[in-house]
Amino acid sequence: MAAKIKKEDNVMIVAGKDAGKTGKVVQVLTKKGRVVVEGLNMVKKHQKPAPNREGGIVDMEAPIHMSNVMVVDPSDNKPTRVGFEVREGRKLRVSRRTGTVLD
C-alpha cells in the first residue's frame, strides 16, 4: 500500500491540542499508523542519567495518529486530502484540492 504521508512532508494538525499548527514530518511509524511532527505534540519525558547523556526532564515530540494530520498543499498552503494517479506509468501522490503533484 502506498503511503499518503511521507517523511519530509509539510503537514497541518487538524485535531488535538496542537490543531491548526504546521510542521515537517520527522518520522513515519507505518505499523502503528502514526507520524512524528517536528516541534509539535510535545511531551515531557523523565529520563534517567546514562554514561552518554544527562538525566532530568526532557521535552520530546510524541507520535500523533495519521488521521489527525493532513498534508499541506504546496500551491496554496491549505490542508488537502491525498489521492493517487498513474501518469506515464508512475503512481504519483496528488493533491485533491488543486491536482498538484506532491512527489
Rg, the chain, Cα only:
16
Q: Is 66 helix (H, G, I), strand (E, B) or coil?
A: helix
End-to-end CA distance of the chain: 16
Residue 26, domain CATH: 2.30.30.30
Domain range spanning residue 36? Answer: 10-74
Count of the separate structural domains present in the chain: 1
Percentage of the chain exceeding pLDDT 90: 92
Tell me: pLDDT of 8 over 60.
yes
Could you tell me if residue 96 is inside a domain? no
* Cα dist from 9 to 47, 50, 70, 73, 80, whole Å: 30, 34, 10, 10, 12
* Single pTM value for the model: 0.85
Tell me: pLDDT of 2 over 80.
no
Give the cell for residue 80.
Answer: 488537502
Could you tell me if residue 93 is inside a domain? no
Q: What is the pLDDT of residues 29-57, one digit of tens each?
A: 999 999 999 999 999 999 999 999 999 99
